[in-house]
Amino acid sequence: MIDINVFQKTMIASVVCLGLAACGSSSDSSAPIIPSPQPEPTADYQDMLQAAVNSGVPGIVMAIESPEINFIGAAGVADIDTQAPMQTYHQMPTGSSGKKATALLVAMLHEEGVLNMDNSISTWLPTTILSRIENSESMTLRQLLNHTAGVWDYLDNGSSEEWFEAIINDPTSVKTDIFALQFALDRPAYFAPGDAFNYSNTGYLLAGLILDKVLGTHHHTAMRERLFIGLGMNNTYYNGLEKDMGSIISGYTEFDGEIENTKFIYENIGVADAPLVSTVEDMSLLLRAIVGENSTLDTAITEHLFASNRLVQVNNETQYGLGIFYQNINGKDVYHHGGGDPGFITENYYVADSDLTLTVFFNCSGYEACQVPAANFTNSVLETIFEDR
């Protein structure tokens, strides 16, 4: 167990360097880094998992599913102190990879006429919030979800330190969207709505509050009924608010030269920009349900998330829909959105040409001994996928 007094003093400086990675890993539009070496034509994925653990990652779980591959494996430990082995069914906070769930719920309600995501956010939110967000009168719900609203990101350098200090000082109470939003209020806009792209976790906090307004209750109930139950995500729950439905594994990051466990903090955060605790199989199922060729969801719903005419430009290589990045890599259409909080990394990919999903969990982040082997592992797996298919 962490000494909370020492932890509070050391976490701030260490974690702020994660910046957008906290709750938003793979918001980095440069990911993934794709192949140059020549991989083996058939990969031994279990050996690769063990090699990453041998290189410094505490534990990994990975699932790959396609017509040619059906692999799920784990290596390392879920808890360093107890040495409990990592299992393929273990649940973990998935950070920003859960944004696609929030966006999907909004798209469902849009198609049902419950809300219109092209309306101004002033349609739903009170002046007590709107008056403290620059340009709120002209930004739409869709712009919040595709990061073109220009709204300040509460995990940006100017406010993330305050956020982390607050959750460390009170690790046991559940933090929801309205709590996290306070760290983005009265901050300058990045640009006028619609003028550019800037990844902002705050947009999803506001979307969560809008969902609560139109549903008349917290949106985790609708997310359970429509997504978790509706899609068969039987091992997924809304973090913080449904924490009695499961238990997250330990997650590790470095503070002041010591490796510490962040589980006690992140099991109590329930925000729409990082809503899900899940398994690798359920996260693959969710992504496949949205972009997969055999999706059973209504096309009118899923097109809001990834249709080419609705994608916005991130950079020369990358576009963004709602909760999903798109890239053409080695001539293949790839949809992805990972996630990261201090102590946890999720990678979540769908390769359309191969009808392949890849999901990887690492129970560490934010220090070189984890980040380097984790990145090397992910890139090595991607190389096998892109070279072999």
| The token pair that represents 262 in the structure block | 């962040």
Question: How far is residue 130's CA from residue 213's CA, in Å, rounded to a whole number?
Answer: 14
Nearest CA-CA partner of 26 in 338, 325, 274? 338
Question: How far is residue 82's CA from residue 210's CA, in Å, rounded to a whole number?
Answer: 42
pLDDT on residue 24: 47
Q: Are 103 and 323 in contact (CB under 8 A)?
A: yes
HEC-encoded secondary structure of 57-99: CCEEEEEEECCCCEEEEEEEEEECCCCEECCCCCEEECHHHHH
**Exposure string over 178-193, b if 16+ CB within 10 A, otherwise e:** ebbbebbeebebbeeb
CB burial of residue 77 (10 Å; 0-12, 13-18, 19+): buried
Measured CA to CA in angstroms, residue 290 lies from 103, 203, 285 at distances of: 11, 21, 9
Query: Three-state DSSP class for 79?
Result: strand
- Which residue type sits at 350? Y
Name the pTM for this structure. Answer: 0.91
Query: Three-state DSSP class for 364?
Result: strand
User: How would you write the pLDDT of the chain (389 residues) with one tens digit per residue?
Assistant: 333 333 333 333 334 333 333 444 444 443 444 443 333 334 799 999 999 999 999 999 999 999 999 999 999 999 999 999 999 999 999 999 999 999 999 999 999 999 999 999 999 999 999 999 999 999 999 999 999 999 999 999 989 999 999 999 999 999 999 999 999 999 999 999 999 999 999 999 999 999 999 999 999 999 999 999 999 999 999 999 999 999 999 999 998 889 999 999 999 999 999 999 999 999 999 999 999 988 999 999 999 999 999 999 999 999 999 999 999 988 999 999 999 999 999 999 999 999 999 999 999 999 999 999 999 999 999 999 887 55
User: Which domains can be identified in the chain, with CATH numbers?
Assistant: 4-388 (3.40.710.10)
pLDDT on residue 372: 96
Phi, psi of 101 (to 5 degrees): -70, -45
Name the one residue in this structure whose structure tokens are 């290189």.
55
pLDDT on residue 3: 36
pLDDT on residue 43: 72
pLDDT on residue 233: 98
Name the one residue in this structure whose structure tokens are 């640009």.
191
CB burial of residue 201 (10 Å; 0-12, 13-18, 19+): buried
